[in-house]
Every structure is written in C-alpha cells, then in structure tokens.
C-alpha cells in the first residue's frame, strides 16, 4: 500500500463542505469573555472588524458603537479570532482556533475540518484574492474556497515549503503569496512556485505589498523589503534602525504608501527608510506587544495590542477597549459567589467581579492585590472575599484589603493554589509549602514535617461538616483532617485513579468527589466508584473540578468538554454542538438558581441556564460509530462525487482501488462527526479504467464502483 504522502503529490482533491450553519448552538448559553487582546483587524469603509481572544467585534468608526459576537450569540465557531479579511463583495472571512466563518450580510456560513472543508481547524491566516476566493492558512496546509468547492495545498503535494502557514497576501498582479515556517510559495492562478528569496528568515510571519516592493516580516530577524524588478533586498533590524523589535507580527500599507508594522516591541510606521515609533513609553499604545494593524486608503491606522485597540491619526493616538466585560483574561482559574449574589472570577491577569450588570476588575495596578495571577477565590458568610495568588493571599471586604504573605503572617508559602472556608467560618489556604487554617488572628499550619499531611504541595481544598477539611495534593493523593487526625487516601489504598488531585467537592449527601489527572472518583461512605475515559462516558481523564447540582447531577470540568453524569448516563458538552466557550474547562460554580458557571482555559466564562437535556452534546456513549454509511458515487461536471452518511463520530478513511484491487489513492483520512458528507474526485492524472471507492468508519465499511475514467 502506498503511503499517504506519496499519493498526495499526484492528486488535486476538491472537497464540498456540507456543514453550513445559519443558526447558533448557544441558545441556553451566555459567554463572558475578555476582548482586550486584539489579534486581528480589518477596515471596511466606516466599519472596523476587530478580532480578539474573546470573540469578534464590529465597531462603527463614526459613532464608536460596538457590536459583539461570540459563540453564545452567533455562529462563530470559536471565540479566539486569529485572522480577518474582507473580500471585494464585502464578505468577511473570519479565522478562528476552531474553524472559519464567512459573513455575507446577515448570513453566516461555518466550515470546520471535521466536515472535510479545511486541513485543520486551527486557522493561522486568511485573505481574499481578486476573484473573491477565500484563502485560508492552517497549521496543516492551505485551502481555497471558490464559493462551492474547497481545494487543498500542502507540502506533501510539493506545493508549500512547509504545512504550517503563517501568512497569506495577494500582490498587485493578483498572485497569491503564502508564507510558512519554512519559506514562501506563490500561485498565479494556474501555476505554483516556491521562489528562492533571501527573506530575513525562513519563518515568515507576514507579507504585504506596496506599489514597488514586497515586505516580509520574520520571527526574530526583522523586516525585509524586496524589489522584484531589480532583484534587490533591503533589511531592517532593531540594532541598526528604529524598528522597535525584530519579532514582526503584521505589516499593512495605507493609502499613502506608508507601511505600518506591528512588533513585539511596539508599533512603527515607515516611509522609505524613515521610522516613526509608537510605544507604551510615550502613551501611544497600551502595550508594546502589538499583534495586529490595519489601515484603509484614506482613514486612520488601527493597532491591536495585548491590552486593547489604538487609533492613530498623524502622531496622535486614542485608546479603545473592544472588550464587553471586565475580564482581563480568558483563563478562569476559579469562580465564587458572594452574599449579594455577585460572581467573582480568579484569572491569570487579576480578579474580576460581575454583579449581573456591571463589571469591576482588580489588579496590582488599581488594588493591593499581591499578584495578578490569581489561582483561587472564595467568599465567607460575611461576604469577605479571600483570594489566593502567586504572590500570597488577600482578603477584601468590599472597601478594605488585607494581604498575607510568609513575611507578614504564618502563611507557609507564597504560591496559594487553593482557598476554602470551613463550616466554622475559618479560612484555609493551600500552598506549595503546606496548608494553613486562619481563625481570626490565630494560624494553624500543616506540613509534612509537623503533621501527617501527605504532600506539601496542596492544590485543592474542600470543607466537610463543621470543621473537617479535605486536602488534595500534587503527588500523594488526598487526605481528610477530622478531629485533629489525618487520614490519607492514595491509589494504593483507595479507588483514586491518580494521586494528582486537582479538585475536591462534597455534595449535599456528603459524598466526596475527586477530580484528578487520571479520572474521577466518588467516595460514598466506605464505597468508592472510579470513572475513567476508558471505562465510562468521561471524555478525558484530565479533570479539574467537580460540582454537584440540586438534581444530584455531577458536572465535571475536563480538557475535552464539560461532562454531566446523571447517575445512569453521561453527556458531554463541547463547542461543536453547544454554546460553551471552550472545550478546556478549568472551574465550575453552580449558583443558588442551579445555573452553571463554567470557567475555561482561554475561552472565558460560560453561563448555562437551561437543563441538561436542553443542550445534549455530540457525545453518544455506546452508539455504534459509522453505522449506515450509505456510500454512493455519481459523475458531475466537477468530477466524480462520492456521498456518504455517518451515524456517529468515527475515524474515517476513503481509499481508491483500481480494477485489479491495487490501492490507487487515499482521498481522506480524518475523524468526522455524525452527518452527511461529499467528496469530489477529479484527478486528471489518473489512468483510464474503472475504480472502486472503499469507505471505512470504525468497524464498518462500504464500497462502490466509480463511473469509468476516460
């Protein structure tokens, strides 16, 4: 059997995308995200399209009014926007970490790799050519969509120098240039080439064209200007020019020919060889990490940075926040609710409060918070907030702060991973050097040296009863402190699936739930039950938190979605079928109204207000994958169309064999969700004769004879 990479160079494969979403799957969800990090910008007349790490924003440049789009209120495939382009018809091409969205008026069309439309869901670059075709770069090759058919271009086809695409641009003659981590390739409409250019570095980060030159940005080696007519290069690096940094994120050309350069050290404009620098030191941009830049024919330049959006007119700068919330990061490590029903979010960029209408952010800049990386937050009966950070602990009454560190208290460690309030109102802290209980001004410290605490690195805490405390550690399992006695539980003496305990929860029936790096465990009295991905409906063994609602449903945070265990059955909610902001779930809170607050790694916060049956995800435990393949073939003007149907998620391969049973080509090898799919084969290099297509999905397979090739 020929290897996949040997077949690909002689095939030109076109895939028709069947999955077009006009409605979004987040009706029961609300997403709260941080849009401070501006990753992509596109200027369309008086409308600015802003891509952020927390969704898409559309700003009226005259009024400043912003409309926000995320996974819960639109068909956006992912909240993390990576690239934006606008074609000649005004259609927006939105690249995300979860696929592509095409916006034409009020119509959204979404393409994902699972539907056969993209090489990968991780979109790294987008552009529109002179024919208004959408070009898409991914970490697994490039693709072009002409409005009905997708075409793929990869290194294996001897088209690209590397499959990790980093930039796409169209020159003034209409040729498409694709930058990769290993050089560039060009396509003039009929022919591909890989020009041997002396770019500053083979890792090309961005490409732009003015009336005379091609501009190439690199990853650490500055900027290059290429004169194609005279075959001459001019290089710009920070050591010999005013270029603020040699790591170039984006370059654009405005209507006057001025180049705008986004770097990891600030924003710069250049006319000929003269630079003007806009950086945070001169209050021109809020952060020197400038990620994106856009400029139209006659308007201002717009720069997106790690901390917001900047409008540049001449040398004057104005700042805008494209964020709809007070979250300063989309990494949500912990969630708590206070006595006034306000929600508090521990993030890697500070603490945030949401009272249902207004947001308040707390950082080291505007508060005594000891560190901006917040690991945990808890609230006591009096409404005092207790915060664990990488620089110590803090309490906040709503008006006064107190900070606790090893130097001013008996807190055993600077890194506070966990905070909890026990049944008697005492505050507990888990640190890298043990745990501590604070009762008024009295501290009790527990370490491996002075107690039977099994490990000093305490990752999780959970109160039980009036005074007992469950402690989860990094390496040696969990332990219960009750009546001054420590009782340890490890994989050796219990059903714990791992000794790495990320989270512990005690439900209303006093059952104890453990989230570990090896799955979930439930302790009901002396009876243990273990749940792993291999032996249950748990989608992943990497679990971070468990919370049990008033229906006794266990909600489990994993790195592969939010799992719900009702007792007899499992359901997993993922981004493909629900409005959850990310599949990587870190933290959970179930409020007094039984609403689910979901904190994620990079996706922000999701609020779910429906019931578990309202948004059943794609996970169907025990369902036969790949059944009823229904493979068929027919000739069309584009080639031979192969159509099939899947009843469940499954690994899929589609292969061609000649009349003698010899393997001729592999057309598809991927994992697909349930649905209907279509592949068009039009390999002009195939020999005459008849072929058989064989589709394999899991344990099922189907074959069909193809119309004669002649």
Is residue 640 scored above 90 in pLDDT? no
Q: Measured between alpha carbons, how far apart are the two ends of the chain, in Å?
A: 24
Place 567 in a pLDDT band, splitting at 50, 70 and 90. Answer: confident
Collapsing DSSP to helix, strand or coil, 62 comes out as coil
Place 693 in a pLDDT band, splitting at 50, 70 and 90. Answer: confident
Q: What pLDDT sits at residue 15?
A: 35
The rounded Cα 478 to chain-centroid distance in angstroms is 31
Q: What pLDDT sits at residue 701?
A: 67
Q: pLDDT higher for 664 or 520? A: 520
Residues of the chain with CATH 2.130.10.10: 332-608
Q: What's the count of helices (H) and strands (E) in the chain, helices before strands?
A: 1, 64
Provide the percentage of residues in the chain whose pLDDT is more than 70.
Answer: 87
DSSP states of 612-642: TTTT--S--TT--TT-----EEEEETTEEEE
H or E stretch including 4? helix 4-7
Q: Which residue has the tokens 């991780």?
A: 122
Whole-angstrom distance, CA of residue 259 vs CA of residue 236: 13
602-637 pLDDT, tens digit per residue, is: 999 999 997 665 333 333 333 333 344 567 777 665
Place 675 in a pLDDT band, splitting at 50, 70 and 90. Answer: low
425-446 pLDDT, tens digit per residue, is: 999 999 999 999 999 999 999 9
- What global pTM score does this model have? 0.82
- Tell how strand 605-608 and strand 632-636 pair up: unpaired
The mean pLDDT of 455-482, rounded to a whole number, is: 96
Whole-angstrom distance, CA of residue 111 vs CA of residue 98: 9
Q: Which residues contact 231 (CB under 8 A, 6 or more apart)?
A: none
Q: Which residues contact 440 (CB under 8 A, 6 or more apart)?
A: none
Q: pLDDT higher for 692 or 636? A: 692
Q: Which residue has the tokens 């927006």?
A: 92
Whole-angstrom distance, CA of residue 130 vs CA of residue 462: 60
The mean pLDDT of 578-596, rounded to a whole number, is: 93
- Tell how strand 512-516 and strand 519-524 pair up: antiparallel
482-511 pLDDT, tens digit per residue, is: 999 999 999 999 999 999 999 999 999 999
Of 178-192, 295-309, 673-687, the range with the lowest mean pLDDT is: 673-687
Is residue 666 scored above 90 in pLDDT? no
Q: What pLDDT sits at residue 231?
A: 92
The mean pLDDT of 128-154, rounded to a whole number, is: 95
The mean pLDDT of 235-242, rounded to a whole number, is: 93
Q: What pLDDT sits at residue 661?
A: 65
332-608 topology per CATH: Methylamine Dehydrogenase; Chain H (2.130.10)
Residues of the chain with CATH 2.60.40: 632-705
CB 90 within 8 Å of CB 78:
no
Structure tokens at 702: 């189907």
Whole-angstrom distance, CA of residue 388 vs CA of residue 431: 9
Q: What pLDDT sits at residue 55?
A: 96
Q: What pLDDT sits at residue 618?
A: 33
For 632-705, CATH gives 2.60.40
Place 687 in a pLDDT band, splitting at 50, 70 and 90. Answer: low
Is residue 686 scored above 60 in pLDDT? no
Whole-angstrom distance, CA of residue 520 vs CA of residue 541: 8
Is residue 456 scored above 60 in pLDDT? yes
Residues in the chain: 710
Is residue 26 scored above 70 in pLDDT? no
| Eight-state DSSP code of residue 159 | S
Is residue 6 scored above 50 in pLDDT? no
The mean pLDDT of 382-409, rounded to a whole number, is: 97
Structure tokens at 614: 């309202």
For residue 694, which phi and psi values (nearest 5 degrees)?
-125, 125
Is residue 39 scored above 80 in pLDDT? yes
Is residue 420 scored above 60 in pLDDT? yes
Structure tokens at 164: 């990790």
Q: What pLDDT sits at residue 683?
A: 57
Measured over the CA atoms of residue 288, residue 60, residue 34 and residue 318, the dihedral's sign is: positive
Q: Which residues contact 124 (CB under 8 A, 6 or more apart)?
A: 82, 83, 95, 137, 138, 139, 164, 165, 166
Q: pLDDT higher for 655 or 383? A: 383
Q: What pLDDT sits at residue 668?
A: 75
Mean pLDDT, the chain, integer: 88
DSSP states of 517-532: TTEEEEEETTEEEEE-
């Amino acid at each position: 059997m020929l290897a996949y990479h040997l077949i690909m160079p002689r095939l030109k494969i076109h895939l028709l995308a069947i999955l077009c979403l006009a409605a979004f799957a987040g009706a029961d969800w609300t997403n709260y995200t941080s849009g401070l990090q501006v990753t992509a910008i596109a200027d369309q007349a008086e409308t600015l399209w802003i891509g952020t790490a927390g969704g898409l924003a559309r700003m009226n440049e005259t009024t400043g009014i912003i409309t926000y789009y995320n996974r819960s209120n639109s068909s956006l495939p992912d909240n993390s926007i990576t690239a934006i382009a606008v074609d000649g018809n005004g259609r927006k091409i939105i690249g995300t970490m979860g696929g592509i969205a095409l916006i034409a008026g009020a119509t959204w069309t979404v393409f994902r790799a699972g539907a056969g439309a993209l090489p990968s869901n991780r979109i790294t670059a987008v552009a529109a050519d002179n024919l208004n075709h959408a070009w898409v770069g991914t970490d697994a090759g490039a693709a072009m969509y002409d409005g009905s058919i997708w075409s793929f271009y990869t290194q294996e086809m001897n088209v690209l120098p590397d499959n990790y695409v980093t930039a796409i641009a169209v020159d003034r003659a209409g040729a498409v240039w694709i930058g990769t981590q290993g050089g560039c390739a060009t396509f003039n409409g009929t022919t591909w080439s890989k020009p041997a250019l002396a770019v500053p570095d083979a890792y090309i980060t961005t490409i732009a064209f003015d009336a005379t030159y091609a501009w190439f940005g690199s990853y650490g080696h500055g900027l290059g200007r290429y004169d194609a007519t005279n075959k001459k290069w001019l290089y710009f690096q920070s050591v010999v020019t005013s270029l603020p940094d040699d790591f170039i994120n984006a370059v654009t050309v405005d209507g006057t020919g001025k180049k705008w350069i986004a770097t990891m050290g600030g924003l710069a404009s250049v006319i000929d060889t003269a630079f003007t620098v806009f950086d945070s030191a001169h209050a021109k941009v809020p952060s020197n990490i400038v990620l994106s830049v856009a400029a139209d024919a006659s308007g201002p330049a717009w720069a997106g940075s790690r901390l917001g959006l900047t409008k540049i007119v001449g040398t004057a700068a104005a700042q805008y926040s494209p964020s709809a919330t007070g979250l300063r990061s989309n990494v949500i490590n912990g969630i708590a609710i206070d006595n006034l029903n306000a929600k508090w979010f521990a993030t890697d960029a500070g603490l945030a409060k949401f009272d249902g209408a207004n947001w308040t952010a707390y950082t080291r800049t505007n508060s005594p918070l000891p560190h901006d990386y917040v690991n945990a937050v808890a609230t006591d009966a009096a409404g005092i907030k207790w915060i664990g950070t990488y620089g110590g602990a803090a309490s906040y009454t709503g008006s006064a702060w107190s900070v606790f560190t090893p130097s001013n208290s008996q807190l055993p460690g600077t890194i506070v991973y966990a905070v909890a309030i026990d049944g008697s109102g005492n505050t507990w802290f888990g640190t890298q050097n043990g745990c501590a209980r604070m009762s008024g001004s009295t501290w009790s410290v527990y370490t491996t040296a002075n107690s039977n605490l099994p490990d000093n690195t305490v990752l999780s805490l959970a109160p039980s009863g009036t005074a007992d405390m469950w402690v989860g550690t990094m390496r040696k399992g969990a332990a219960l402190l009750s009546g001054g006695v420590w009782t340890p539980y490890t994989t050796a003496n219990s059903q714990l699936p791992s000794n790495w305990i990320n989270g512990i929860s005690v439900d209303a029936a006093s059952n104890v739930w453990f989230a570990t790096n090896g799955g979930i465990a439930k302790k009901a009295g002396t009876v243990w039950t273990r749940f792993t991905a291999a032996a249950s409906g748990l989608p992943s063994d990497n679990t971070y938190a468990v919370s049990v609602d008033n229906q006794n449903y266990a909600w489990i945070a994993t790195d592969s979605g939010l799992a719900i265990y009702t007792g007899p059955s499992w359901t997993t909610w993922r981004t493909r079928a629900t409005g959850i902001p990310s599949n990587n779930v870190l933290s959970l809170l179930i409020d007094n109204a039984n609403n689910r607050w979901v904190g994620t790694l990079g996706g922000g916060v999701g609020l779910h207000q429906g019931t578990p049956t309202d948004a059943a995800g794609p996970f169907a435990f025990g369902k036969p994958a790949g059944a009823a393949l229904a493979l068929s073939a027919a000739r069309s003007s584009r080639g031979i169309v192969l159509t099939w149907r899947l009843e469940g998620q499954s690994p899929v391969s589609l292969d061609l064999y000649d009349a003698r049973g010899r393997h001729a080509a592999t057309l598809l090898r991927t994992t697909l969700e349930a649905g209907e799919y279509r592949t068009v084969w039009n390999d002009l290099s195939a020999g005459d004769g008849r072929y058989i297509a064989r589709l394999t999905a899991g344990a099922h397979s189907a074959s069909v004879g193809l119309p004669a090739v002649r």
